[in-house]
A and B are shown apart, each in its own frame.
Chain A
Amino acid sequence: DIQMTQSPSSLSASVGDRVTITCRASQNIMTYLNWYQQKPGKAPKLLIYTTSTLQSGVPSRFSGSGSGTEFTLTISSLQPEDFATYYCQQGYSTWFTFGPGTKVDIK
C-alpha cells in the first residue's frame, strides 16, 4: 500500500496568514494527488485534484503543487471559513489512501 504522511499535524494561524501544508507519499504517485477540506460534522469536500487543479467553486486563494512524492497545499490568505481539517489522498493506486490530516485552527 502507498502510505501518505502530512505535516504539520496541526497549526494555528490568523486570518490573512499564508498557510502551507505538506503531503508526502511513500512512492512515486506522479501527480495523482488530491486535497480535501473537512469541517466538523460534515463530509469531506474536494478542493484540489491532480495536484494543482481547483475543483469548481473553490476560491483561488487555494493552490497546490508538487509531483512524485512531495506535494503542498497553500492557502494564500487564510479566511475565517478556512478553519478546518485538510487531507491529502493519492489516486495513483486503485487502493486509495489518505494522509492523517492537518487541522488548521485559529491562533
Chain B
Amino acid sequence: QVQVVESGGGVVQPGMSLRLSCAPSGFSFSSSRIHWVRQAPGKGLEWVAVISEDGSAKYYADSVKGRISISRDTSNNTVSLQMTSLRPDDTAVYYCARGIAGSRLDNWGQGTLVTVSS
C-alpha cells in the first residue's frame, strides 16, 4: 500500500527553526518526486516545494524561498523540509505528497502541524 507519513511538527517561537520529515512506503522512493504542501488554519492549500527523483532539482514557492530547504536522505529513505526564520504566518498543517507524471499529487500523508507562536 502506497503511503507517506510526515513527522516533526510542533510549536516553535518566531525566528526559530524546525525540520519536518516525510517517510514514503509501498513505492519506489527513488523514482518519485516528493512535494510539500501546506494549509494554514481555515485556509486553502499552498504548494511549498518539490524535490526531483534524484535530488538534483529543487523548487520552492516564492513565499518560502530562502527560508526553507528540501532534501533527500537515500540512506534513510526520507525527504526532509528544513524551515528557518519561522514566522507566525508559517503556521499550518504541512503535507508531504508523492508527485506523479510531473503534474499531480496522488498520495498524501496525514499532515503534521507546525505552530509558530511566542
Write the residues of chain A forming the contact surface with B, with a CB cutoff of 8 angstroms: 1, 32, 34, 36, 38, 43-46, 49-50, 55, 87, 89, 91-92, 94-101
Contacts and interface: CB of A to CB of B under 8 A. Distances in A.
Interface of B: 35, 37, 44-47, 50, 59, 61-62, 95, 100-106, 108-111
Given A1-B62, A43-B109, A43-B111, A95 B104 contact: no
- Grouping DSSP codes into helix (H, G, I), strand (E, B) and loop, the B interface class, with mixed when no group exceeds half, is strand
Interface of A is mostly: loop
A99 B62 CA distance: 17
A94 B62 CA distance: 13
B61 to A, nearest CB: 7
A14 B23 CA distance: 40
B46 A95 contact: no
Given A95-B47, A98-B44, A101-B45, A55 B110 contact: no
B47 A96 contact: yes
Nearest to A6: B44
